Every structure is written in structure tokens, then in C-alpha cells.
Amino acid sequence: MSNAILQKVSKKYNNVLALNDVSVTIEPNEWIAVMGPSGSGKSTLLNIIGGLDSPTAGKVIVAGEEISKLSSKQLATFRREKAGFVFQQFYLVPYLTALENVMLAQYFHSMTDEQEAVAALERVGLGDRLRHLPSELSGGEQQRVCIARALINHPQLILADEPTGNLDAENERIVLKLLADLHRDGHTIIIVTHAPHIGEQAQKIIRLAHGRLVDVQLSAACQFCKI
């Protein structure tokens, strides 16, 4: 069964057509890169797949569930159970420590398990930064907290919107390595990026322009995923 199916999906903001009749299918455990110029609808596509936004027209089926028909409450349930988000701006709660930010996702999902949250942060190499506030962490460290938060509830989908956009080369390498590890563990990864070298890490590249699907191509070389 496909992990995500988008059929003729359009999204209009006021008079601007952000997505125009996009149809695409994403298989389980695929690593997809969504690429295109600014304003091409990359983030909108990602947000619609993750249940953060709803399409104006078309059908979106994710993990067997037609999320385009869900209420806002059902979408919240979908997000906490099926999707993990990694944002370019990190979006951590500023007054909570790294550990608490990860546990926050557990709290909204079901119940907190501090040991599991510690293990998630150790996995992203932040075992010694558990009690640090976001303001006390570097950008790369904050993004790794964000990845730990995204994976803590074992979602099928990891959705990353320009996750390395604010990072230096070394932190970019660390973050991409972590995403590759998650992919190897069976997660479906959808990453929005401008950078061709990051797109090349994916198995499949979806190209958008002016809200339209231009091309879906297999990546020439996937360094981490070893197709």
C-alpha cells in the first residue's frame, strides 16, 4: 500500500494558486526530495501531506486515511500519530529544555517516557545537552532536538522542510546522516530543499514550478540510502 497518494490536489491562498492539480504517489520507506524555485509550492505540498494544511481541491490519502476530509481535531490526531516534522526554523518551545521539548510530543501523543526521550536525544548525539534550553544550543543542535522530537512517537512519515537551510556544512552533514538513519530504519522521508546536492541524497526527486508538478525522477546517486 502506498504511503501517500495525492490526486489532483490544488491549494489556493486568496487569489494565489500555490498548488495546481498535483498528483503524486509516495511508496512506504521512500526518501523523496521536493525541489523547485521559491514560491513553487514545495512547502505547501509538504504541509498538505503532513496534515498541517488542507487542499482546496483534490484528494490526499496518507497511511490509508483520506486526510483531506478530516476535521481539525482529527488532523491533530493524524499529525501526532503519523507524522514527524522537522522545520527550517526548528520551532522549539523556548522555555522548555531539549528533553522537555521531546517529551512534549510524547505528552500530546499519549504519555511521557523520559528514558525513551533521553534515548532519542542520545541517538541524535545530544546526550550531554538534555537540560539545555534552545537558546543555549547551536543551530545544528536545535535541529537535532527537532529530529528527536519528530521521531519520538515513531511516525511513518518524517517531513522535513529545508532542515539544513540554517546550518553550516558540518551540521548539514550530521542532519542528513540522521535522516538517512531514519530512512534505513523504515521511515518514509520527504524533504523540501533548494540544494541539488541534498536532493541527490533522495531516491526520488519531485520537481515543482509555479505550483505544478514538472517532473518526478529517480535520483542518480543516493549516498546514504544505497538503493
Partner 1 sequence: MFNRILFKSLRGRDSRQLAAFFSVVIAASVAATLLTIRADTGAKINVELRAYGANLVLTPAAESEKQTLSVSATMQLPWPALRDTLRGLAPVLYGVMAPVENSNAATLRAIVALGTNLEAMRQVNSFWSITPPVTELHENEILVGQAAARKLNLSTGQSLSWRAAATGDTAGFRIAGIVSTGENEDDQIILNLTTLQKMLRQPDRATLALASVQGGPAVVEKLVADISGHTAEIQARPIRKIAGSEAHILRILTLLMSIVTAFTVVVATLCLGATMTALIVERQKEVGIMKAIGAENRHVARLVAAELTLLGLAGGLVGYWVGFFFAGVISKNVFNTYASLRLEILPMVLILSLGISLVAAIFPLRRALQIAPIIVLRGE
- Using CB under 8 A, list all residues that contact partner 1: 43, 47, 52-53, 72-73, 76-77, 79-81, 85, 87, 89, 91-96, 100, 103-109, 112, 149, 153
Of residues 46 and 198, the one with the C-beta less far from partner 1: 46
Of residues 1 and 71, the one with the C-beta less far from partner 1: 71
Smallest separation, CB 173 to partner 1 (Å)? 26
Of residues 96 and 195, the one with the C-beta less far from partner 1: 96
Question: In this structure, which long-range contacts are made by residues 127-131, counting pairs with CB atoms below 8 Å and at least 24 apart in sequence?
Answer: 129/98, 130/97, 130/98, 130/99, 131/97, 131/98, 131/99
Smallest separation, CB 53 to partner 1 (Å)? 5
Smallest separation, CB 11 to partner 1 (Å)? 11
Smallest separation, CB 40 to partner 1 (Å)? 15
Cα radius of gyration rounded to whole Å, the chain: 17
Number of Cβ within 10 Å of residue 113's Cβ equals 13
Instruction: Report helix, strand or coil for 24.
Output: strand
Of residues 52 and 195, the one with the C-beta less far from partner 1: 52
Query: Do the strands 188-192 and 16-26 form a parallel or antiparallel pair, or are they unpaired?
Result: unpaired
Of residues 65 and 200, the one with the C-beta less far from partner 1: 65
Smallest separation, CB 81 to partner 1 (Å)? 7
User: What grid cell was written down for 220?
Assistant: 542518480
Instruction: Report which secondary-structure segment, H or E, holds 194.
Output: none
**Residue 85, Cβ density class (10 Å: 0-12 exposed, 13-18 middle, ≥19 buried):** buried
